[in-house]
Chain A
Amino acid sequence: MGKMPNWADAVLVPIISLLLAALLSALVILAIGEDPLAALQLMVKGALGSSYGWGYTLYYTTNFIFTGLAVAVAFHARLFNIGGEGQAMLGGLGVALACLYIPWPHWALALLGATATAAVLGALWALLPAYLQARRGSHIVITTIMFNFIASALLNYLLVNVMRPKGSMDPATAKFPEPTHLPTLHDMLAPLGIAFSKSAPANISLVIAVLACAAVWVLIWRTRLGYEIRAFGHSEPAAHYAGINATRITVITMLISGGLAGMMAINTTMGEAERLVLNSVEGAGFIGIAVALMGRSHPAGVLLAALLFGFLYQGGAELALWTNIPRELIVVIQALVILFTGALDNMVRMPLERLFTPRKPGIKKG
């Protein structure tokens, strides 16, 4: 089988996978008895047609950038971190601890502090699965799944029994104090004379997410550690032969991955809810898998894929509001994207590779 040019691998394969997923989703919408084109128009209008829509789209995008990067970094070391959900929950706990118990003088300091605690707790939640994978050979997919459930039970316990303010029935912490409230895009764009919806939740975390993309790019392609991570991912025996310590790389990669997933919480918990609620992650950890697969584990790809899923999320909410199409349609689209870009990758790739292989007369195909 011949090699494809790089551009085809990076652009054509994801686009064809996406088209297949879109086609099947359109069939699903047709089966419900709605018009797919009208649905798409409604989604575009709802998600991108106003600064309110953009505010929500970018808010979701921020979440998915963090979780997508988390999965992507782990993919480079050929580790499948399916525990972004649990790591993000712990990140939420980190944000809540920082915001509730430290008297911050200014939101900028609070943001730095909360980002750090969120990243540390998220990373810690990935530490044990990483260690077990590296030293005891237990499969990281299974352990991270188990840790998702343990995290959810832990959060449930803390919010119901420990952190809930007296007299409140809601399993949530108290509201964070005023100095920790983050500026929204409305606050940030107003001095520039750009009017942006006041009620949309997109906030300064988006900037941090984009910075994280750049940082991950530098890490993976411009540092020694990144080189070691990629070498380890390509071939473990070769990496071992080159003197790369497998345990060290596995643990460090998972710490970075968990930290990135945990940082998602600054957007949801500090930026939007301004308190820690049960189920603040809402499946964003899992969407990270689709985002990383779609973005080919490249930060630029992750950014674009996160934007796409942000659009799908906000557009899906609009669909659920105005039509008979439930929000679960987005889960189906997400599943189809994971299926085509991840599991059925070869189905798209094989015919394409054949197409790009120059035909050489006289030589039998091997």
Chain B
Amino acid sequence: MDYATLLQVLDSTVRLATPLLLACLAGLFSERAGIFDIGLEGKMLMAAMLSAAVAYVSGSVWLGLLAGVGASMLLAALHGLASITFRGNQLISGVAINFLAAGLSVLIAQDWFSQGGRTPSLMAGARFEPITLPFADAMAGVPVIGPVYQQLISGHTLPVYLAFLCVPLTWWVLYRTRFGLRLRAVGENPAAVDTAGISVVGLRYAAVMICGLLCGIAGAYLATALQAGFIKDMTAGRGYIALAALIFAKWRPWYALGACLLFGFLQAIALRFQSIDLGGITIPVQVMDALPYILTVVILAGFVGRAIPPRAGGEPYVKER
């Protein structure tokens, strides 16, 4: 692989890692507060559909983003209602939300546009445009570093930069603010938080809604930046890969960045090469597809350091047992 090809693969890694990263951080907020969320996929899908639909009708990508985030937060609120207020099974609620989104997104798109469950292609203005960073073209001539700056760092859409900014932001919120301390505490020992006079329900709803917000941006990115419009099942398991990345990162923001870049890289490789030759041994493309999941199982098996989820994860909190 020569230098130019490598840069292209890395460039596509960044673009493919972005939705994973946003969804992964979304899951991080929710699960750190003790609410398991396997509905990341559904929230992204719903956001993708509605953002593309609204962006197409209004011609404004910002209104699209707003609609997508709204749809995702609505589903997040439903998840909160089921798993916090009614103390239902969080996993089952997540499964239900995934199916709800898979069905409703096609149903609505078909009803509005009658194009076989997809939205019409988005024109300029209804999509996020690439942003050229200052001096990008001037730097292009500089050997080695120039192309890296021009192709890899510059020229991405706004949500990409936003996603990468979210990593330090998430770290700061979780580890340097009072809200973050309480959020982590409510995922480990909600009874202690309750005893301190802080609302467990309020904190968990806040976490679930942040999760909805980030999933909404991820979904809108898929439909209005990575691609130009919504197609059926366009998330294609990204919500689950994000979940895998979250476990891989052991519920920590900086590691989440690493895990998402790794999984994004695997996707970029699988997209570019049909099969990879490694000195006589051919690796079929399906291995690349399955690798994130296999790696996660290996991590879960505890062979590469143990992944221990937040202690109160998945359990509804009952005041005064």
- Interface positions of A (Cβ within 8 A of B): 28, 31-33, 80, 82, 128, 132, 136-139, 141-143, 145-147, 149-150, 153-154, 156-157, 160-161, 286, 289, 293, 324, 326, 328-336, 338-339, 342-347, 350
Contact = CB atoms under 8 A, between A and B. Distances in A.
A32 B247 CA distance: 40
Nearest to A128: B297
Given A28-B107, A149-B237, A132 B92 contact: no
B258 interface: no
Given A328-B106, A328-B107, A334 B99 contact: yes
Contacts of A293: 92
Contacts of A33: 111
Contacts of A142: 243-244, 247, 296, 300
Given A142-B243, A339-B93, A343-B93, A157 B107 contact: no
Contact of B92 (A31, A147, A334, A342): A342
B50 interface: no
B177 interface: no
A142 B95 CA distance: 12
Given A286-B99, A339-B96, A143 B300 contact: yes
Contact of A346 (B38, B86, B117, B296): B86
A28 B95 CA distance: 20
17 contacts: A28-B104, A28-B107, A132-B301, A136-B300, A145-B240, A149-B293, A150-B290, A153-B290, A156-B289, A157-B287, A326-B117, A328-B102, A330-B103, A331-B99, A332-B103, A344-B93, A345-B89
B85 to A, nearest CB: 8
Interface of B: 38, 78, 81-83, 86-93, 95-100, 102-104, 106-107, 110-111, 117, 237, 240, 243-244, 247, 284, 286-287, 289-290, 293-294, 296-297, 300-302, 307, 309
A286 B95 CA distance: 9
Contacts of B99: 286, 331-332, 334-335, 338
Contacts of A153: 286-287, 289-290, 293
A154 B286 contact: yes
A338 B38 CA distance: 14
Given A331-B106, A332-B107, 18 more contacts: A132-B301, A141-B91, A145-B38, A146-B240, A149-B240, A153-B287, A156-B289, A157-B286, A289-B92, A289-B95, A332-B103, A338-B95, A339-B78, A342-B88, A343-B88, A346-B86, A346-B88, A347-B88
Most chain B beta-carbon contacts within 10 A, residue among A28, A137, A138, A329: A138
B302 A335 contact: no
A141 B98 CA distance: 15
A75 B81 CA distance: 23
B92 A338 contact: yes
A338 B300 contact: no
Given A293-B92, A332-B103, A344 B82 contact: yes
Contact of A326 (B88, B90, B91, B107): B107
Contacts of A335: 96-100, 102-103
Nearest to B295: A146
A139 B309 contact: yes
Contacts of B302: 136-138
A335 B92 CA distance: 10
B88 to A, nearest CB: 4
Nearest to A333: B103
Most chain A beta-carbon contacts within 10 A, residue among B90, B99, B102, B104: B99
B117 A154 contact: no
Contacts of B104: 28, 328, 332
B300 A342 contact: no
Contacts of B290: 149-150, 153-154
A146 B284 contact: no
A343 B96 contact: yes
Contacts of A345: 86, 88-89
A332 B99 CA distance: 7
Contacts of B98: 335
Nearest to A346: B86
In the complex, the 8 A-B pairs of residues with the closest C-beta atoms, listed nearest first: A331-B103, A343-B93, A335-B99, A138-B300, A332-B103, A153-B290, A342-B92, A335-B100
A150 B237 CA distance: 12
Contacts of A157: 284, 286-287
A343 B83 contact: yes
Contacts of B300: 132, 136, 138-139, 142-143, 146
Given A142-B300, A145-B240, A146-B296, A82 B95 contact: yes
Contact of B102 (A32, A331, A347): A331
